[in-house]
Structure 1
Amino acid sequence: MTTPPSPQNPAGTGTKSEAAPPLGRKAAKVDRLAELMGERRDDGHGAGVWREALARMRRSPMAISGAVIVTVFVLVALFSPLIAPYSPTAQTWGAEVFPNRNVFVGPRAENLLGLDNLGRDQFSRMVIGARQTLLVGVVATLVGFCVGALLGGSAGAAATLGGAWGRRFDNVVMRVIDMMLALPTLLLAVTVAALVGPSLTTVMIAVGVAQIPIFARLLRGAMISQGSRDYVLAAQALGVRKRRIALAHILPNSMGPVIVQSTLTLATAIIDAAALSYLGLGNPDPAFPEWGTMLADAQRFLSSAPSLAVYPALAIIVTALGFTLLGEAMREALDPKVRK
């Protein structure tokens, strides 16, 4: 049955079932939000920001160098029991070393990096110490990331969508963060470690607490910046709940700088953990290998056996450099101002 002529169908041909259905409201909303958020939907999938950043990092010599260093460090730390040829605490060659007479054993076939002042294999201690360094760095960064993201995310969401009450809550949280930032990072970590007592767990907590204000301020600032974007206004106009806007839209789009900062913080955490161990606030057992503790023990023999301090110092520097290069490359790849 044909339809009569009408303004919508001037020719008066075709059936009602042949008329093209209009675009669904839900699909139109999704396309509009995607357009406002800067995603291209020409192919139906959108261009992922992280995918584009990964493609740029593959062409960056800085990113490649950092990734190689970090990968080697992580592999050595994970498989250290299989790589270490000897026990790191066994004084197997103690009779060959006489620290009082400045007699040390350097690199040789059975000991690649020589022996320490107690006749222990230096290479085995370096390899096992990598696992402790990685553990301290990762756990400390996770502590700072989780607590800082919780405080900063709550303050950022409250300041953006919470109205007058939210702004008051944001002021209270950020004043606490400002007081933590007033203390230098290492001094705050030393204070926490001195109050709790020397142990490996103390080092993790102390370094993690010192990183909390960095993550909190960064995430709060990113969320406030995202709160003024067009897609947030569009979501509010469409009647989306404020809690959903904060958790499903603002928070995910604000995590990029925080993730990049976590990579950079790993380098700082490794250095701070080594500094606390150097000051005697780390593992109280001096026989257990940790790069900071090894560096502290070697300072007595700098004139007679400088290699005992050079090896752990180089390991700390190179590892921190690897995480720093990788973090800087990620920051540049995600920064719209420097995208090419």
Structure 2
Amino acid sequence: MSLISTDKAKLDRLAELTAKTETSSGAGLWREALKRLRGSKMALIGAAIIAVFVVVAVVGPWLAPYGPTDQTWRGEVFPNQGKFVGPRADNWFGLDHLGRDTFSRFLEGARQTLLVGVVSMLIGLVLGALVGALSGACATLGGRAGRRIDDVIMRVTDILLALPSLLLAVSVAAVLGQSLTTVMIAVGVVQIPVFARLLRGSMLAQGGTDYVLAARSLGIRKRRIVLTQILPNSLSPVIVQATLSLATAIIEAAALSYLGLGNPDPAVPEWGVMLSQAQRFFDNAPMMSVFPAVGIIITALGFTLLGEAMREALDPKLRG
């Protein structure tokens, strides 16, 4: 009995050392990636754009010179006659057809756009990671029954991936009804199969590595192998995809708002809603659509640049 206990203690110690080695190597990977990001112009430009966007979204409403629904200028109520006022000293982006300050609405709309993008990305990330982790665990260490569960999950995921993302988002939004929460849920649902497929593939790649085979030969429980070794080392591509998905989420959320599926209150500024309202007056006042469109494009560009830089920094094939 003492000999068996001694052998078991040695195996547990060896398993702990294996886990620590993998953890330290993972930390080293992230330190190296951060060092590469600091030297990447693409990452710095993307981070600068995102920083400006976040600052505008957080403190913009307090920096706005006027309220987003104010229609009074120089003591007089602006007449609702579809007239427009171009950029001037009092109103940097001019006034819209209702006499509201476009610059103030642009700053307030940045907060709504950031809220929709982040929440929808988190919905897709959390639910997609749960589905992908379950599927990857079943496929890696679940045996025959686990592989059957993995097949069912992946077939459903493939069906969702086969549908155009915007069409799927519109369908979900149409079922749930018109609201800002609906936009978040609809865009988040579109992201679920992307994260699920990505995490599952990463876990399958990690399942065949030497440290997993060593852990299995030591008799470590499958659940512990998945939770402490395979899953933590499979999250790098998912984190990169989350950054890229923010850009996609902002564009798709703006598209849903543009189609009239967003916030039912048109007085609440949001870049997609502002773009939709400006469509009717594009011939007379094209600048109304330029400002929200440029905001959406530049913000999406910032997240895309940072995401691509992170992907290159974490890709072992691209590291020197």
What is the TM-score with the length of structure 2 in the denominator?
0.92
Whether the 8 Å contact between 1:198 and 1:282 is mirrored in structure 2 is yes
Choose the corresponding residue for 1:153, options 130, 133, 151. Answer: 133
Among all aligned residue pairs of Structure 1 and Structure 2, give the percentage whose two residues are the same amino acid.
Answer: 65
Distance 2:118 2:212 in 1: 34
1:59 to 2:51 alignment: no
Q: State whether residues 199 and 281 of structure 1, in contact with CA within 8 Å, keep that contact through their aligned partners in structure 2.
A: yes
CA distance in structure 2 between the partners assigned to 1:246 and 1:57 by the alignment: 29
User: Paired residues, what number?
Assistant: 308
1:140 pairs with 101, 120, 133, which one? Answer: 120
Corresponding residue number in structure 2 for 1:95:
78
**2:172 is the counterpart of 1:192:** yes
Residues 1-340 of structure 1 correspond to what in structure 2 (within 5 A)? 29-32=15-18, 37=22, 48-93=28-73, 95=78, 98-99=81-82, 103-340=83-320
Letter in 1 for 2:78: A
Q: Is the 8 A contact 1:96 1:104 kept in 2?
A: no
Residues in 2 aligned to 1:269 and 1:60: alpha-carbon distance in whole angstroms: 25
Of the two structures, which has the highest relative contact order with CA contacts closer than 8 Å and spacing of 6 or more? 2
| Amino acid corresponding to residue 243 of structure 2 in structure 1 | T
Amino acid at match of 1:151: V
Provide the C-alpha distance between the structure 2 equivalents of 1:321 and 1:311, rounded to a whole number of angstroms: 15
- 8 Å Cα contact 2:174-2:261 kept in structure 1: yes
Distance 2:257 2:18 in 1: 54
Give 5+ residue unaligned stretches, structure 1: 1-23, 41-45
Residues 111-133 of structure 1: CA deviation (Å, up to 9, x unaligned): 11111111000011000000000
- Looking at structure 1, the residues matched to 221 and 66 of structure 2 have their Cα atoms a distance apart, in angstroms, of 60
Tell me which amino acid in the other structure corresponds to 2:226: A
After the TM superposition, which segments of 4 or more aligned residues of structure 1 sit over 3 Å from their partners? 24-35, 37-40
Contact 2:160 2:193 in 1 (8 A): yes
With the length of structure 1 as denominator, give the TM-score of the two structures.
0.87
Contact 2:129 2:199 in 1 (8 A): yes
Contact 2:79/2:98 (8 A) holds in 1: no
Rounded Cα–Cα distance in structure 2 between residues aligned with 1:33 and 1:209? 34
Q: Say which structure is richer in helix.
A: 2
CA shift in 2, pair 1:173/1:141, >3 Å: same
SS in 1 for 2:34: helix
Distance in 1 separating the partners of 2:220 and 2:311: 31
Paired with 2:319 and 2:59, the residues of 1 have a C-alpha distance of 37
- Contact 2:11 2:218 (C-alpha < 8 Å) held by counterparts: no
Do the aligned residues in 2 keep the contact of 1:69 with 1:322 (CA within 8 Å)? yes
Give 1:245's aligned amino acid: I
Equivalent-residue separation in structure 2 for 1:158 and 1:313 (angstroms) = 44
Query: Tell me, what secondary structure is at the counterpart of 1:48?
Result: helix
- 1:302 Cα deviation after fit: 1.2
CA contact (8 A) 2:19 2:229 kept: no
Partners of 1:132 and 1:290 lie apart in 2 by 6
Q: Evaluate the alpha carbon distance shift between residue 148 and residue 272 of structure 1 in structure 2; reply closer, same or farther with a 3 A threshold.
A: same
CA distance in structure 2 between the partners assigned to 1:29 and 1:150 by the alignment: 26
Return the offset for 1:92: 2.0
**SS in structure 1 of the partner of residue 72 of structure 2:** coil
Q: Secondary structure at the match of 1:85?
A: coil
1:111-167, Cα deviation, whole Å (9 max, x unpaired): 111111110000110000000000000010011011111111000001000000100
Rg (Cα) greater in structure: 1
| Alpha-carbon distance in 2 for matches of 1:200, 1:328 | 29
CA 1:223–1:25 in 2, change beyond 3 Å: closer, same or farther? closer
Q: Deviations over 1:250-276 (max 9, x none)?
A: 000000000100000000000000000
